[in-house]
Structure 1
């Protein structure tokens, strides 16, 4: 949990993907997030959190459905969305919050 706090307290945007191995739509997000990272490179950190292995963290952030994306800036949650999003939607959100 403290490692997660360190990660989200960075100056740059941190996109967190709460997912589950058994979730079909979550599998669709992986290549999309890779494209986002390729496009924004150092402008964003992207981390994936398996809700089954990190139940306390999922509960803390009230993740009830997967995939759920959250954007953090300086430790504060600035955006949240559940479901599959397209690359451009995610990039637009990150740019608007940076």
Structure 2
């Protein structure tokens, strides 16, 4: 995981990287803490990294990608949002999400 502080940096990475994984949370959100633990497990299993942001500081991103709630997992390919996940459900569910996302990108 990598924390970003500036929206412009994140936007630049979304546009420049083949695949980009963005996890948005709110600090007081208990579900966000659980979701991030699940995401950490899956990222360790699958060998990918993601960028984590406090949604309170990224109004432009929230509006541009119409983020509906926290936690939010936004999956980008070639600068386009290809999938959003708001209900993390389980480690198995997230693993399947990333199987689809990572395989499609190859």
TM-score range, shorter chain: 0.7 to 0.9
Q: TM-score, normalised by structure 2?
A: 0.77
Instruction: Extract structure 1 runs of 4+ deviating beyond 3 A.
Output: none
Question: Which whole-Å CA distance do the structure 2 matches of 1:4 and 1:51 have between them?
Answer: 12
What CA distance in whole angstroms lies between the structure 1 residues aligned with 2:20 and 2:51?
7
Q: State which of 8, 11, 17 in structure 2 corresponds to 1:10.
A: 17
CA distance in 2, matches of 1:91, 1:15: 14
| 3-state DSSP of counterpart to 2:73 | strand
Moved more, 22-31 or 85-94: 85-94
Pairing of 1:23-38 with structure 2 (within 5 A): 23-38=29-44
Is 2:61 the partner of 1:57? yes
Output the CA distance in 1 between the equivalents of 2:62 and 2:52. Answer: 12
TM-score normalized with structure 1 length = 0.82
Q: Does 1:85 find its partner at 2:89?
A: yes
Q: Aligned partners of 1:20, 1:72: CA distance in 2, in Å?
A: 21
Q: Runs of 5+ in structure 2 lacking a partner?
A: 1-6
Aligned residues: 95
Say whether the 8 Å CA contact 1:25–1:84 is kept in structure 2: no
